[in-house]
Amino acid sequence: MPDSTLLAGHEGELRCSWFGGLDDYQAYHDDEWGHPTADDKVLFQKICLEGFQSGLSWLTILRKRENFRIAFAGFDFEKVARFTDADVERLVQDKGIIRHRGKIRSTINNAQRACDLVDKEGSLARFVWGFEPDTHDHRLMQTTSPESIALSKELKKRGWSFVGPTTMYAFIQSMGLVNDHMEGCCYHAVIEEKRAAFKRP
């Protein structure tokens, strides 16, 4: 029986099957998903977009991501933190993004909370990477972990919103705090090497 967790890419190499054979999803799988980063803007962007994704597919968000970047000042949280009610109204009218007033306000709130966090912790990356698991037992269809629950709880305590445990697990996966590329995926070993070489903040 073929392994349903793997799917051949356009050049024939096996990948995690969730990319679905789609060009843009394959590029995201190969070039971004699971690659560790210490870039605060990239981390903030991902937290926000995972929040917007709640109730939707990630593919929907991915295909609108450039519009989101334009709408939210490149996810520079110091700039987004200064957004006003007028910006909220502008964004609610922006057909290029998900026009959910609560999620738009949440992004502005989270930008303000990110500024507070950086003042206290030194960087968003230093804070986030403190929740990297010591060991990781990858289980198929896992949607939360003790670390994602702890990260969610700590962010909520600090006033963040749309940061539930499932959302935070998707964030942990995509930002490389764990390697959830399937065994047999041609990028599993690539991410292992990148994580081994990555300098934790």
What pLDDT, in 10s, does the model give residues 80-93? Answer: 999 999 999 999 99
C-alpha distances in Å from residue 182, one per residue of 8, 31, 33, 93, 108: 13, 16, 12, 40, 35
Torsion of CA 81, 109, 42, 180, to 10 degrees: 170
Q: Active-site positions?
A: 28, 50, 58
Task: List, in order of start, the domains of the chain with CATH numbers.
Answer: 38-175 (1.10.340.30)
User: What mean pLDDT do residues 143-149 have?
Assistant: 95
Q: Which two tokens stand for residue 34?
A: 């699971």
Asked if residues 91 and 108 have their Cβ atoms less than 8 Å apart, the reply is no
Taking only the tens place, the pLDDT of each residue in 39-74 is: 999 999 999 999 999 889 999 999 999 999 999 999
Handedness of CA 41, 43, 48, 52 (dihedral sign): positive
Q: Global pTM? A: 0.94
Residues found in the chain: 201
